[in-house]
Structure formats: structure tokens, C-alpha cells
Structure 1
Amino acid sequence: MAPPTAIDIEGVTDTQAIVLPNPLTINGVSARRTKAGKLVAGTAAFTSSDHFKSQTSGKPNAKRWDRKSVTQTPPSIHADHPHADYLTIESKARQPSSLKGAAQYLRNPGLISLGGGLPCAENFPIEELAIKVPSPPHFSEQETKVSGTVLTAGKYDVAEGRSAYDLSIALNYGLGTGSAQMIRFVTEHTEIVCDPPYADWHCALTVGSTSALDQTYRIFCERGDYVLSEEYTFASAVETALPLGIKFAGVKMDDQGLIAESMDEILSNWNVQERGARKPRVLYTVPSGQNPTGATQSTERRKAIYKVAQKHDIYILEDEPYYFLQMQPYTGPNAAPVPPPENNEAFLKALIPTYLSMDVDGRVMRMDSFSKVIAPGTRVGWITASAQIVERFVRHNECSNQNPSGISQLVLYKMLDESWGHSGYLQWLISLRLEYTRRRDAILAACEKFLPKEIVSWNPPAAGMFLWLKIAHHLHPSYATTPLLDLEEKIFLAAVERGVLISRGSWFTAERDGFVPQDMFFRATFAAATEEKMTEAIERFGKAIRESFGLVDGKVRNGNGA
């Protein structure tokens, strides 16, 4: 029997009772900070999102993802979800770090520490840092050169009353949650944007989302498990999982990304014997500006997927590096553009609600990153999930990367918190929205002008930095005699020879064991090059396509499919 569609699925909890983000929370942040007083957080200071959230009275706690009595044996491939323990043997085995735990005593007045190996700050050979950043709302390079603000961070700014964060703290060891200063900012930001509808949510800093994903696999997935994802997905997500013995099961997609009904069908008809693995417990998805396809899930699509996750008790990894790169609606090459958001409140209302904002169960880990909205080299991001899951994540941090670079955290703090504040950061994100809108429109204009539409087709992306180009490979003169992947490589090399590098679609397939895609795609980014260079690159790709397909006067030279 065919499984019910997502529309028919009854969720465990009503997702209609979503509390959508309230932009006025920005004012609430200021009031909370005033009431709390000066932030005092020294070297390796213990911190938690609970210190910085608004009151959560009336909200339920998240569901738990473990059982009280668990045998320490590898899971049976016959094990299904009811009352299952979702935490891996490795994750359950992690105990709090003895040395990190001792840091809690550093806040005791008058304590002289001979315990932890924290070097003395006087031996740090960096006395001061200075950075020049834009002054909102003047964000362009030229404006920053003229009117930017120079921020300085000294070694002893905290002791001397100039700041809540300084080099003596940032250059030393920290705890697995990240610095209290940055945890405060990302916690407040998460509440402004997402306002999770359960009480016990926490944030923890990460060394970017790929590192966070590696750690999360280790929390939820044993060797032999499958993870669900879009049928084309972030290549590093797959390549991080494979050495851990984790495979991907691809869910069909359309122009809005992952299809809820396809996900439900896969899970409803999962055959343990054929797959040699238990039913998947985790969904990895990039909902906005999906890498590589550029697809963005609508609000209704996200609700439908969440209901499927409830039905099958799936934990969702919401990877959202492109969430704030949601662009203005595409109106076509000759149409008048849609006016930009008038203010921060309008900007926040224009954003599609996050999975975290509709997560009434605590079944979502959201992965945020500064990589795409500030700079990849910061290597700072954060996760948001229930306290139980964040605690396991922090235990992993303590014996691996520990925390992001202190210098990176300090630079971000000086700019985002001390200089811009939440209002200024949202203004920056609005400026990025308009910048990426211009870039997208430029590459689409080039495609309209230079690509043969009988061979290449595309959907204008609503978010992110990627354009997914579908190739009508059945029209190629060698279609009947050349395997698809060989034909894809031939076109790829023809483009390289023409002077343009464009990613092959097969690099992004979720399923890798002998899987051969049925369609041919290439991925182009509109983030890396200037508008002029992008236009030139698309023109070169168009010439490579025409030459490879033998187009003469807009017609395929060979009769195969012409």
C-alpha cells in the first residue's frame, strides 16, 4: 500500500502553534542586559544560554533522546524507533572533562589557581589588536575606508574597565561552549530570529558547520546507519559521513527542495533486510539556498517535512549557512525590482520561518555559521538544540577542537556586540540580501543572453549563492554511445578548456555506492567573481556547450534527439 501523503500525516504535536520571531525582542535584549548589569566572564568562564535567554515560563521542555536502561552493545539492524535510544555508544561514553570542570572554581574570589595549565597572560606576545569595520548602515568598502570605525582590543581591557572581553581571556584556553561573550550574542540573536517554542534550548559555539556535522554524526549515528538528505546535497556532508561508516539515502527534490512525500515513502517502506541497516533516524537538510541546487523550502514545505519527522520520529539537522542570504523576489530581466525591506522588522518578517522556530518537540539541531555572512576564515559558528543534545556536543568539544579560535571570537565580539549591536548586524544582513540579489540577477541575465535554452534550463534561486543548471544531455550527439558520467566529464573538460570552472552535478549525489544519476546538472556560484567576470564565465560556458553539442544556428548538428 502506498504511504499517505504528507498532507494526511498526523503529527505528534501541533506545529500550527508556532511562535514566530518577534523583531521587538531586540528591545527586550537591551532591557535584559540593563537589568543583568555588566557581564563578568574571565578566563575559561562557565557559561550557558540560560544566562542570556528571556523568561521561558509556559514553554514545555524538549523530548529526550535516550532511554534510562541501555545495554552497551551495538544496535541491531532490526531495531526500530519506538522507545529507542538515539544517542550512540560513543556519545553516551563521553564524560565531563576533569580539567574543564575544574574551571568553575576560577570565579571564586581570591582563588589562586595552580590547577589548570592556563598560561599567564603576560607571556602572550600580543599586546593589542586593531580592526577597522563598517559603521552601519555604511557597509561598502569605499565607505568603510572613509568612515569606518577602528576597534581596539587590549590585553587587560577587562581589568581596566574598558570592555567585557580582552586578549588575556581570548588568547587563553576556553570551555567547550565557547566564550560567554559570544554565547550571549548568539543566544540573543537566535531568540530574535527563531524564538524556539520549547524552554530548555541552548547554544554552543562550533568551528564551522562541517566540524559540527562530524560531531553530530558521532552523537546520533552508529557505523552502518543511513542518514536521509536531499538526493543532491552538500558534498562534504556525505564525505564526512562515509569514513564513519554512515551512508546517505537521497530524497527526491523539486524546485522547493526536499519533497515530504518522498521522505515519507522511503521511511514507510524501509526494508531492513534489503538495506542491511535499521531505519534512518536523522535527516540532514539545507532548507534555504540549498547547496548545490539553490532550492529554498517554503513555509508549508517545512511544516510538511516536520510532520513526516514527527510521524517517523526523525531528528532534523537544519544546516543553514545561507539562511540570511534570502534574496529579493526575482522579477525577470526587464521587470522593476521589488523594493528592499524598509527596516529590520520588515527584514525579519520577510524571512521564511526556521525549523527551529517550529520545533515543538526539540527534534531539531540548527547549525548557524558566520562563514557565509561575515567571513569563512573566522571558523566560528554555533548550534542550537535541546539542553540534552548540546551537553553531549560540548562533551565532544572538550576532547577535540575545544572551542573556536579566541582571536576570532574576540574580533567578532568587538564588531558584532560592542560596535554594531543586534540592530547593526541585521542592517548588515539586509545589505548582504541586496548584494546577493544583484549578483543573482547578474548571472541570470548572463544565462538568458549566452546559454542555449534548448540545452540548458534553470530555476532562479530565492536564496544562497548557487545556480543549478540542468543539461538536456539526451540531445548530445554522443548520448547513445557515451555513459552519462563520461559525457558529464566531457562537457566539464570542454568548459575548462574554454576557461571556466563549473562544478559537476555528480559531485553532489547523496548516494555514492554505484549510484548513477538520471539527469545531468552543473553548479555555478554567483558569490566568487565580479559581475563582469561572472558574465564572461557564463559566455564561455555557453560556447563550450554549443561546441560540445554541435549546435549550428541554434540546432543540434546530429539527428539524435534534435
Structure 2
Amino acid sequence: MAPPSAIDIVAVSDTEAITIPDPTIDGIASRRLKAGKLVAGTASATNSALFKSPFTGKPKAKRWDHYITVEGKARHPSALKGAAEHLKKPGLISLGGGLPLAENFPIEEISIKVPTAPHFSEKDARESGKILTAGKYDASEGSSVYDLAIALNYAQGTGSAQMIRFITEHTELVCNPAYADWGCVLTVGSTSSLDKGLRTFCERGDVVLAEEYTYSSAVESAAALGVNFIPIKMDSEGLLPEEMDDILNTWDEKSRGARKPHVLYTVPTGQNPTGATQSATRRKAIYKVAQKHDIYIFEDEPYFFLQMQPYTGPDSPSAPPPASNEAFLKTLVPTYLSLDVDGRVMRMDSFSKVIAPGTRVGWVTASEQIIERIVRANESSVQNPSGLSQIVLFKLLDEHWGHAGYFQWLINLRMEYTRRRDTLLDACEKFLPKDLVSWNPPAAGMFLWMKVDYHKHPAASRKTILEIEDEIYLAAVEEGVLVAKGSWFIAQRGDFVPEELFFRATFAAESQDKMTHAIERFGAAVRKTFGPE
């Protein structure tokens, strides 16, 4: 079988031929200055086109009418949301919408204390952090462009204009999509984004391609919609493009009981659960397969900014951090969105892993056609993320840190996660029986994927792989450590039995001392399980 970089696939269009000016933080500041103060009141209509660079010469995205579902096509604009457009008319008296008066909101002001770049430690935040305050009428009084009167009221399905501006600029800085008509919409986190994507692209009975081990909530979200996952074999870099191509080339609808897949769900960076990160070469090869078979890609990237420094070995110092924001951005693996010349990628981002899960704010970036469908879905379901979360994030990211400070925060996270990962890996080197347990140092994310050679179990000829997995899992709990079973993450549910035995450990949840003790306990559990009967 040919290596991924050598598979014989002809792309529909060339991802290497697109040259687009790189946006800069200074360029965004200049553009904001030229545009003047943002005026976006209660339920203000907005979209990314208002805040993108005025680039010309980019192609338009391909249309996806042939894949959009019956449900996706059935969604129509909200009459009430549409009527809010007239609120900007001077002197208009509105009796048309159920927008409560802000004077009846029992919250006059909120304050948050946050670190100031580049002093991000918890100690620094306590001792010298800045208190940011949001009042009820800051916008009307001229002290801010966003206030509680706006944030606490109903809003559009896009999310607030204030956050859409920041998200659009951020996406342009990081991904700089190669086609013209892209946009962003806020969601209630990545799982909500995926739900919207599945409902837009997949009918009941459809199947979705995915890594053979994948995020369990994604599988469960799809199953509830009558959609199953089809596994693609993986290596240390993630899914194998030649395996994906082979599945699609040989697909037989009668024997498979489903039409040929037209969607790929992938977690390309720090993949959950395996920790695998697709290289730029791997991503380009997978994108070419997607072009060949007209596959639409769901790019789920909650761990994208948790790319770490290389692992240098037990007790070795980590490589120094990137010297600047620009150097940091250059170290990041190209996103599928940045490679996408067709508009065949729906990228899902989230603040859950880089700010806090409880914010429940994420966003989708895709072509305007797909963004419009997701906005319609938001209007009739979640509407938009919490206004309190949006104004807190706005105060922190836009008014306080700015794009430059946010990138400094992400560099800080890179080094923090590098230290945490290195602590876990050092403990593995010290405490795990290497004749039974093997692993690859993850380059991103928050998970370590450990393979256990179950063939060496004394009862391997009599016990199933799942029985041995359960035995190790319970022995670990008895020793005082909880790890996740690999079988929880199998993409293909039902009667499928895995060929290998894995466990997932995280280096995000505990202190570094506790992680070391945890790995020592897991090593003891493995030795105990594999001891003589």
C-alpha cells in the first residue's frame, strides 16, 4: 500500500496555487479605525462580510444544494428576527417584538477580574489582574460598544455583532480562507455545531466517515439522528487517506445498506481520543480524496491551539516558547479551512478548551450558504449563546487583551500544556511496563493514548479483548486511578470488536504531582492484571 503522500489522486482544484495576502493584527486595527465606532444595538443584524478584509480575486464557494437535507431546506427565516432589522430606524417606536425593556433586567453591572498580558498566572491575576466592568447602558452612554442592555436581551441567530467582529477577524488571522464568501456564526459549543451540521447534511440512514476511534459524543449525537459512523483506519498521524479512498472507491450501497458517504467528520489536531495530529502533508492528501469523491468535511478543532513544543525526553527542559505572535502562528499546522479552495469545509471552533467550557460559546466557519442554514437552525432552537457569556468574552478578548493579547494567552497555554504533557510522559517512562504498554508522545491536545499488548495476558486464549480491558480498568480503579477505556471511543458501534486494546489518559485534569501518582498506579494495575493467575 502506498504511503499517504504518494496516493494517486488528482485534485479537482489546486490548493497550492492560491496566493492570498496575509491579514495582520495591525491591518485589522487600521480597518476598524477606518470603519469608525461599531454601532450594534439590541437584536442587531450582523454577518462576517461586514468585518472581513476587502480582498478581491478570491473564487466563490461551491454550492451544496445536492447534499442539504430535507430538514435543512425546510428552514425559513424567522419573521420576528427579520423584523428586528427595522429597530435601527431613528425614531421608530416598536410594539412588534417581545424585547423586554432593559430597565426590568435586575442586573445593573457585572465585574470580572482577569490577568493582563503577558502575566497570565493565577497568582498574577489575583495580585495584579484588572477588573473589567460592564454596565447596563455603556453603549448608549458612549463608554463601550456593548452593554448589558444589549447582551441580556434577545439577539439574532448569528450571535452579537460585537463577538462576530472579533471571531471573524480572529478566523482571518489564523485560517485566512481562500474563497470569498465565507462567514462565521456563533454556536453553543462544538457539539451543538456538529448537531447543526449533521441536521443540515445527513438524512436518517446516512453514514459519516470518521477516524476509527473518535469523540464518543459525536457518535452518540449522530446515532440519535439515525446516522452511523464508518471507521477509517489510523496511524500516529490520524486517519489514512488511502484507506478513506479505498472505502469510497469500493462502496456498494446494497451490501452496506446506505448510500455512499458524502461527509467526513475529523478531529485533525490533538485528536480525541488518540492525541494524533495530522501533518500538513496528510491534510492535503485527505482534502484531495474529499475533492475526488465530493466529500464535505466537518473539521472539529477544539484542540487546535493546544499544539505543544516537541517532547525532548525524560526530565529534559522544554523548547523555549515562540518568540512572537507571528512566529507562533507560523508554527501551527495549516487548517483544513485554510486549504479549502472549494468551500467544502465546515470548521468548528470553541472557547471550551482555551478559555473555559462553561462559557458555552463556539463558532462555525463555512461558506455563506451553509452559515445561512445554521443561522436558520439557531433561530428555531438555541437562538444564540448566553448574552452574559458573550459580553464577558468580549470584555476579555476584544476590549482588554485584543488579538495580540489573546495570542499571547494561547502561547502561554502552549507552554502550560507542554509542561503537563511532559510530566505525564516522564511518569510513563518511569512507571509503565514497556513490554506491555506503548505510546506515542502527542503533539497537541490533552490526551495520551496508551496501547496495551493484551496478547501477553495469561488468559488471552480464554478471555475476550473487552473482558481483559474491563479487568485492567477495574484494577486501575482499585489502585486509585481512573482512565478511559479505548472501546468507549470506537466509531463503529454495535457488535464491532476492536483488534487492539487502548486506554486514554488526560494531562489536563489534575496537578502534575497527582498525574505522576496516577501513572504509577496505572502501571501497578497493569502488572497486577498481567501477573500469574
Instruction: Quote the sequence identity (%).
Output: 69
Measured in 1, the distance between the counterparts of 2:270 and 2:249 equals 28
Paired position in structure 2 for 1:262:
243
CA displacement, residues 344-378 of structure 1 (integer Å, 9 cap, x when unaligned): 00000000010000100000000000000000000
Q: Which runs of 5+ in 1 are unaligned?
A: 67-84, 551-556
CA displacement, residues 498-532 of structure 1 (integer Å, 9 cap, x when unaligned): 11110000000000021100000000000000000
Amino acid at match of 1:458: W
1:167-178, aligned counterparts within 5 Å? 167-178=148-159
Amino acid at match of 1:44: A
CA displacement, residues 296-351 of structure 1 (integer Å, 9 cap, x when unaligned): 00000000000000000000000000000000011111544322100100000000
Amino acid at match of 2:219: V
From the superposition, tell whether residues 19 and 479 of structure 1 become closer, same or farther in structure 2 (CA, over 3 Å). farther
1:41-60, aligned counterparts within 5 Å? 41-60=40-59
The DSSP-based 3-state class of the residue aligned with 2:140 is coil
Measured in 2, the distance between the counterparts of 1:467 and 1:19 equals 37
From the superposition, tell whether residues 149 and 19 of structure 1 become closer, same or farther in structure 2 (CA, over 3 Å). farther
Paired position in structure 2 for 1:9:
9
Measured in 1, the distance between the counterparts of 2:3 and 2:488 equals 31
Paired position in structure 2 for 1:81:
none
The DSSP-based 3-state class of the residue aligned with 1:158 is helix
Paired position in structure 1 for 2:203:
222
Paired position in structure 1 for 2:484:
503
Structure 1 residue 7: Cα displacement: 2.9
Measured in 1, the distance between the counterparts of 2:4 and 2:403 equals 44
Structure 1 residue 101: Cα displacement: 0.8
Paired position in structure 2 for 1:242:
223
Q: Which runs of 5+ in 2 are unaligned?
A: none
Paired position in structure 2 for 1:39:
38
* Match of residue 289, structure 2, among 308, 317, 320: 308
The DSSP-based 3-state class of the residue aligned with 1:50 is helix
Paired position in structure 2 for 1:29:
28
From the superposition, tell whether residues 5 and 434 of structure 1 become closer, same or farther in structure 2 (CA, over 3 Å). closer
Q: How many equivalent pairs are there? A: 533
* Match of residue 208, structure 1, among 161, 167, 189: 189
Amino acid at match of 1:422: H
Amino acid at match of 1:515: F
From the superposition, tell whether residues 482 and 86 of structure 1 become closer, same or farther in structure 2 (CA, over 3 Å). same
1:430-441, aligned counterparts within 5 Å? 430-441=411-422
CA displacement, residues 426-468 of structure 1 (integer Å, 9 cap, x when unaligned): 0000000000000000000000111000000000000000000
Measured in 1, the distance between the counterparts of 2:518 and 2:318 equals 25
Amino acid at match of 2:36: G
C-alpha contact (below 8 Å) 2:4/2:285 kept by paired residues: no
From the superposition, tell whether residues 19 and 545 of structure 1 become closer, same or farther in structure 2 (CA, over 3 Å). farther
Structure 1 residue 55: Cα displacement: 0.9
Measured in 1, the distance between the counterparts of 2:204 and 2:55 equals 38
Measured in 2, the distance between the counterparts of 1:34 and 1:501 equals 52
Structure 1 residue 420: Cα displacement: 0.3
Amino acid at match of 1:399: S
Amino acid at match of 2:44: A
C-alpha contact (below 8 Å) 1:451/1:538 kept by paired residues: yes
1:451 aligns with 2:450: no
Paired position in structure 1 for 2:341:
360
Structure 1 residue 548: Cα displacement: 0.4
- TM, length-normalised to structure 1: 0.93
Measured in 2, the distance between the counterparts of 1:226 and 1:415 equals 40
1:233 aligns with 2:214: yes
From the superposition, tell whether residues 471 and 21 of structure 1 become closer, same or farther in structure 2 (CA, over 3 Å). farther
Paired position in structure 2 for 1:276:
257
The DSSP-based 3-state class of the residue aligned with 1:14 is coil
Amino acid at match of 2:474: L
The DSSP-based 3-state class of the residue aligned with 1:185 is helix
Structure 1 residue 17: Cα displacement: 2.3
C-alpha contact (below 8 Å) 2:4/2:241 kept by paired residues: no
1:402 aligns with 2:401: no
- TM, length-normalised to structure 2: 0.98
1:91-240, aligned counterparts within 5 Å? 91-240=72-221
1:479 aligns with 2:478: no
C-alpha contact (below 8 Å) 1:11/1:310 kept by paired residues: yes
* Match of residue 342, structure 1, among 301, 309, 323: 323
C-alpha contact (below 8 Å) 1:6/1:308 kept by paired residues: no
